[in-house]
Amino acid sequence: MSCTKLKVTLLAHTPNAISLVYAAFRQCYSSEFVGDKFEKWLRGEIPLEQQQTFIQNVLASGHESPVEHVSFTFAVGGVSRALTHQLVRHRIASYSQQSQRYVDAKDFNYILPPAIATNPQARQIFEQFMNEAAQTYLKLQELLEKDGRGKKANEDARFVLPNACETKIVFTMNCRSLLHFFELRCCNRAQWEIRELANKMLAICQEKLPVVFKNAGPKCKRLGFCPEGKFSCGKYPTVRN
């Protein structure tokens, strides 16, 4: 077992995303059937730059629902169970997480919080507890296996595993869910680990689909002010200011 670091990989995203979003937006404002037009748009009948400009203008008006037709799928490792407890609160999304029932955790890796890493005394206590948790898990696993639980011993022994225990997860979010996710989790008030994840995801999304994600980020970036009141980090003025 050892300390591990965040890993983020984009597994897939919706192909022809710009033309797809353009078609969805156009259908909202046109009497024509976009199904008869889509292939022509893909072939460049309407230049991609023109499609992007149209999307940008409509998004700027606050109309976001058509971007739900495009999704991104990420594989994430080197994160704690504490992070995924926050992550799975986000809807609409689909999640497939490493199971502690079926995956043996006796040699689990863990996430070391920066504030603990820079405090020698705190780090010593933390790492000692990680070792103790691993030893306790192994002892329980062995005892339960002797009692006839077999491989099902994991599902009971896992109750002593800490939130710091590493997990791996695959998840899919559509663009509108991602925009909301970035508004909350890129904020300086977000917990440090999920903020690091959100910033890495945002960089990937901005590279792959800048027309949607160019101005994405914490809510203050879109609003021009911080809605957090007395909890503001000070980067933007608050409503009162």
Q: Is 222 a catalytic residue?
A: no
Distance (Å, whole) CA 183 – CA 177 = 10
Question: Which of the residues 26, 149, 185, 189 is marked catalytic?
Answer: 185
DSSP 72-124: EEEEEEEEEHHHHHHHTT-SSEEEEE--TTTS--TT--B---HHHHT-HHHHH
Tokens of 157: 């022994």
Distance (Å, whole) CA 70 – CA 68 = 5
Distance (Å, whole) CA 184 – CA 23 = 29
- Mapped onto helix, strand or coil, the DSSP state of residue 38 is helix
User: Pick from 171, 169, 20: which is nearest to 91 by CA?
Assistant: 171
Residues designated catalytic: 185
